[in-house]
Structure 1
Amino acid sequence: MSKITADHLSLSAFVYVRQSTAYQVANNLESQRRQYSLVERARQLGWETVEIVDDDLGRSGGGTARPGFEKLLAAICEGRVGAVVSLEASRLARNGRDWHTLLEFCGLVGTLIVDEEAIYDPRSPNDRLLLGMKGTMSEMELSVFRQRSVEAMRQKARRGDLHLTVAVGYVKTDDARVEKDPDRRVQESILLVFRKFAELQTVRQVLLWFRQENVLVPSVIQGRGKRPIEWKAPVYHTLHHILTNPVYAGSYAYGRRATRVMIKDGRKRVTRDTLRRNSKDWEVLIHDHHEGYISWAEFERNQHLIAENANGKSYIDKTWRSFIARTIPLRSLRSPTAYSILWERRQYAAICLSRHVRRHGGRQLYRLRWHAS
């Protein structure tokens, strides 16, 4: 007895097409052709109306943001789908939540699931069992792939051979070693950043000096093949990255930041913490890995000074917020007022108190807006 009925054929067959990465989309064209050819399989099974859902090309099946999959679920819930056609179960989902949601919706409205080998009816206990096993195996495959990939990267990192990107001021040789950029102008620019920090003691003062003197710094245009250098005015992040990157001290480091898993809107979110780990907690740290611009001792002094400056700024901000709140009645601020304070080390900060009215419990409140200059 055929599982396909006239009711199924009166609806549309949805062909779901997905590849995990942009690289696969550009290079694995045979897999792409096989998936699009499923349109012909759906027509051979009797469907006249076939729609293609390929919004998820370049997206992982284990990911959280898949507009094509959401579009497919919405169409199933609306009762417009007679069959979901895909190359295999792993194309549809590689995590249990999405897979079982799909099975539940298909079972409720009677939508069939079709792959290259068979036709499944989620309302049938036997088919539901087979589909559940396929989903579990697909999820396990992804987990094993990830584990192998991560362990391979760690093994390579332990040898100091893993270079996902190469910092400006360095180049990667044909034998996968890291050397200083042969361009003397690039080298002198990097050294100048460290010299000015040793003199001025803060990243911000270094930034102001570079801006005032119109000194440009090198920036690498990322991409495949040769990495061209672009010279431009520095921003705070650029200088901070140079001063806090251990590569400039001739050291190879891996695992400087940690990842954490969060649940947001019922979905898993993997984020990388912005706070860096202490160097003692890095997964890999190899000194004298390559020629550095500064010594490790100077690098550690710089990190200590940057941390002290950050703590001092936080303390000053809290102190002045408390002082302003205690000494200046908020209701007396009838017009914008500016206060200028000269800090130690000649750091100038301007606290702009701008009148900002908002309603709260029937009363007018004023919000203080702070700007550092």
Structure 2
Amino acid sequence: MAHEVRAVVARGKGAPVSVETIVVPDPGPGEALVKVEACGVCHTDLHYREGGINDDFPFLLGHEAAGRVEAVGEGVTGVGPGDFVILNWRAVCGECRACSRGRPWYCFATRNATQPMTLLDGTPLAPALGIGAFAEKTLVAAGQCTKVDPAAPATAAGLLGCGVMAGFGAAVNTGAVGRGDSVAVIGCGGVGMAAVAGARLAGATKVIAVDVDPRKLERATGMGATHVVDGSATDVVAAVRELTGGFGADVVVEAVGRPETYRQAFYARDLAGTVVLVGVPTPGMTLELPLLDVFGRGGALKSSWYGDCLPSRDFPALVDLYLDGRFDLDAFVSETIGLGDVEKAFEKMRRGEVLRSVVVL
């Protein structure tokens, strides 16, 4: 039996989103039907609406979500009806060359539902990041459902589905921040803020938040930043070096995704330090660095996909940290809204007024 539910649809490039009735099929083999309880409004959703990802309109937006499994298809054993889950967009296959080498967080064949969700006229929808969770119900691959402690509210838990996990993982998994390290985070939106929190939780003794918006720098202090740098008023590289005894930070997380901020990250790190790129560039961006500097400064230049996370490992652990009062996911929730408020949330995001607007269903 198909399900008719309300959902947020982007029909064309740059056009305002609309709340429409869509059709969600019952789960087939390897699939799960999830009743969505909450879904964060992420920059990636806005990128989809703007045509910055691809032009497979119409899109079913939303991907940073938590909810309850309502039904599962044939062959599904990992989750069942009633389970409280966080949705993830990298359901590992267990069989590709990355998985077979024990690096499933690099899985090259992640899974999504095979049946399409559609508009009422039968037009297939392209779900954002293979999820499509600005909807009362969504259909995903069962591996995209990660069971976590149901004591966590969906408004907080769902944020691990994308931005918070990306930032936290960029610092802890990709950057391998450890006790006593110095860390600089360039760009303090939701992802950068999670990198700040993750670095502090991992034991970094100096966490330098860099942004051009004083409001974001103030929030970063609340998340654990020990120092802040206003990039609109000072030389970022010089400031980070001054705060680290003239050497530069052990790990610099670039959470903007622009050539100019990446160059800042490159030169603000210590010799043999690590740069982690977690900000997502646009296709036309290019980077030029003196090759001798790349050689001479040593260290590592890394990219972080989804915080190099393994959802089955990381989501439950971070939820437990939240429930223990050690990782304040609630601090990322700026407001709760309804499905009809997503377009307004995009505008607030553009203006830097929110960390996360969270749709509650």
What interval of TM-score do these two structures reach, taking the shorter chain for normalisation?
under 0.3
Q: Going by fraction, where is strand more abundant, 1 or 2?
A: 2
Q: Going by fraction, where is helix more abundant, 1 or 2?
A: 1
Higher Cα Rg, which structure: 1
TM-score by length of 1: 0.21
Higher relative contact order (CA 8 A, sep 6+): 2
